[in-house]
Amino acid sequence: MHEYSIVASLVDRVQREIDAHPGAVARRLHVRIGELAGVEIDLLRTAYDTFRARSACADAELAIERIATTWRCKACGRDLPAGAILRCCGRPATLATGDEIVLERVELEVPDV
């Protein structure tokens, strides 16, 4: 259940944005989670709903984008089919997408001055 510690990091990071924008309220968070990141999206949502109360995220909706796994051959540029042996052109494939645990952006409601 490391999803709780990820939410703790998320709330801290949003708090830093609030601190940098006095009077702002976080309304929406965009998070990208890869299939190979080891993060369960349902658990992440549950953890978020548990932790957000009275935090910088209390009024922020959590939008999660699931990123599919892509293994790619650096030599020929081909994406390997799912479940394939991770070799192509005589060398190891590299993970192009799928390990993201990223806070992409925060939408802040900022009072007009």
Interacting residue ranges for another protein, rule: CB under 8 A: 1-2, 5-6, 9-10, 12-13, 17, 21, 24, 27-28, 31, 36-39, 71, 83-87, 92-95, 99, 101-113
For the bound state, the minimum distance from the C-beta of residue 33 to another protein, rounded and expressed in Å, comes to 9
For the bound state, the minimum distance from the C-beta of residue 75 to another protein, rounded and expressed in Å, comes to 13
Distance (Å, rounded) from C-alpha 7 to C-alpha 39? 11
Distance (Å, rounded) from C-alpha 15 to C-alpha 23? 12
* Nearer residue to another protein within complex by CB, 10 or 55: 10
Distance (Å, rounded) from C-alpha 95 to C-alpha 27? 33
Distance (Å, rounded) from C-alpha 12 to C-alpha 77? 38
Provide the residue type at 80 as one letter: L
For the bound state, the minimum distance from the C-beta of residue 9 to another protein, rounded and expressed in Å, comes to 5
* Nearer residue to another protein within complex by CB, 37 or 53: 37
